[in-house]
Amino acid sequence: MPEPDLPMSRLILHVDLDAFYASVEQRDHPEWRGRPLVVGAEPGQRGVVATCSYEARRFGVHSAMPIAQAVRRLPPETIYVRPSMARYAKVSQQVMGVLETVSPVVERVSIDEAYLDVSGLTSLVGPPAIIGAQVKARIRQAVGLTASVGIGPNRLIAKLASDVQKPDGLTVVPPEQVGDFLAPMPFTVLRGIGVKTAPRLERLGVKTIGDVRQLPLETLRQHLGARTGIQVYQQARGLADDRIDPARPRQSISRETTFPEDVSDPRILEETLRWAAQEVGSIARQTRHLGRVVTLKIRFHPFETHTRSRTLKVPTADDAALFGAAWSLFAAEPWSGRPVRLIGLGISGWSATDGGVQMDLFETAAPEPCPEHDRLAATLDAIRNRFGADAIQRGLSRRSPG
Ligand code: DCP
Ligand code: MG
């Protein structure tokens, strides 16, 4: 079968801040710069690392590692701080504001990362490397933080490119270099490869994306199913989604955490789900999605995965409602004490008919049947900025989910 041509037209930029929470802390506390720093649970308490500075990563510490394990690895001069979500959310808003001055087509995908379509900028600004350097410089100027930028013909290439030279990286992958760029990477970075599909490819002797490219489409369809087969076939050739849409209707919005070591402490699971709810809620509000269906995903050692869903009476994008629903799904099962490999939550079941996105609830006064609920959802981020995340969390967690 002939190799398909790569699309020539789009220029997609992915930007991801470096060690985001930790970098904000080092920015605001100059005496902490250049030192290992962990943002997350307090040492001696239960909980996990939210993130850590690159100085701490040298000791093998990373996000979602239990704090006790991190403490064992890190030197005594390490700084430990609790997260200040309000501050990070504010910096995130500032960064997204900067990106909107670069291109009108910005899609925020998490607290510290976004995609931009910069196709139209080459004639105005210059080649992709200049555009990327400008984005980094503007972020640094506005908020004093470094970001890593990847530029390529689509989302997949841009995202992988932003990751290869972290921190403070800038990687441009022109269409004609996409094949060489992907070939040595592990095939697991491709979208759609999960715990079921990865072993199937491994049994075929596949390790890298270059190996995947050696397989005929028919073989991939046979082993992965028709849909995933063709998706993996195309991605291995650098073909992927190149649409950037600030308010893209999505099937679902979700966040999950895979623990480096299995966790059975319910407090760690609770804290991790709270973080996921904050991320999901924040993205849903930003992209104007209200969903009715909250899904809890959990995986026990080694690959036993369960999902449980609950349909809420009132559609929501509210962190506390999301967390409450997911946590009650967890509590309703006889899972207590079992070692958990992965936990996460998602929202779907959008409430409107206009392509899944309901704008009105955010624009106008909150509707029946629960005005208080929707007003709270819409203003949650603003209140967080003023009073701090803890105040909000305590206040909302007393309300009943849904
Ligand atoms: N985060 C978290 N818990 C996780 C993963 C992330 O609380 N399991 C938070 C802390 C991070 C922020 O989200 O600072 C952004 O996540 P990233 O995956 O982008 O990680 P960092 O920005 O910290 O590091 P990197 O330089 O690898 O992007
Ligand atoms: Mg980051």
Q: Which ligand 1 atom lies nearest to the CA of residue 22?
A: 14
How many angstroms separate the CA atoms of 360 and 117, rounded? 27
How many angstroms separate the CA atoms of 96 and 135, rounded? 11
DSSP code, position 176:
G
Q: Is the CB of 117 under 6 A from ligand 1?
A: no
Q: Which ligand 1 atom lies nearest to the CA of residue 64?
A: 8
The tens place of each residue's pLDDT in the chain, 402 residues long, gives: 555 554 457 999 999 999 999 999 999 999 999 999 999 988 988 889 999 999 999 999 999 999 999 999 999 999 999 999 889 989 999 999 999 999 999 999 989 999 999 999 999 999 999 999 999 999 999 999 999 999 999 999 999 999 999 999 999 999 999 999 999 999 999 998 888 889 999 999 999 999 999 999 999 999 999 999 999 999 999 999 999 988 777 789 999 999 988 999 999 999 999 999 999 998 888 888 899 999 999 999 888 999 999 999 999 999 999 999 999 999 999 998 899 999 999 999 998 633 343 333 332 222 333 334 444 444 444 444 433 343 333 222 222 232
Phi, psi of 230 (to 5 degrees): -75, -35
- Encoding tokens for residue 281? 């809620």
> What is the predicted pLDDT for the residue at 383?
40
Other C-beta atoms closer than 10 Å to the C-beta of 307 total 13
Residue 312: which H helix or E strand, with range?
strand 304-316
> What is the predicted pLDDT for the residue at 251?
85
Q: Is the CB of 37 under 6 A from ligand 1?
A: no
Q: Is the CB of 41 under 6 A from ligand 1?
A: no
Residues pairing with 208 in the sheet: 186
Q: Is the CB of 260 under 6 A from ligand 1?
A: no
Spacing, Cα 379 to ligand 2 middle (Å)? 25
Return the amino acid letter for 14: H
How many angstroms separate the CA atoms of 159 and 115, rounded? 8
Name the H helices within 29-177: 54-57, 67-73, 85-102, 128-143, 155-164
> What is the predicted pLDDT for the residue at 47?
85
Mind telling me the catalytic residues? 113
Whole-angstrom CA distances from 232 to 164, 182, 217, 225, 264 are: 21, 13, 9, 10, 34
Q: Which ligand 1 atom lies nearest to the CA of residue 54?
A: 26
> What is the predicted pLDDT for the residue at 86?
84
DSSP code, position 104:
S
Angle between helix 371-387 and helix 85-102 axes, rounded to 10 deg: 90
Q: Is the CB of 111 under 6 A from ligand 1?
A: yes
| Sign of the alpha-carbon dihedral angle for 275, 281, 286, 289 | positive
How many angstroms separate the CA atoms of 29 and 52, rounded? 15
Spacing, Cα 257 to ligand 2 middle (Å)? 15
How many angstroms separate the CA atoms of 7 and 239, rounded? 8
Nearest residue (CA) to ligand 1, atom 26: 18
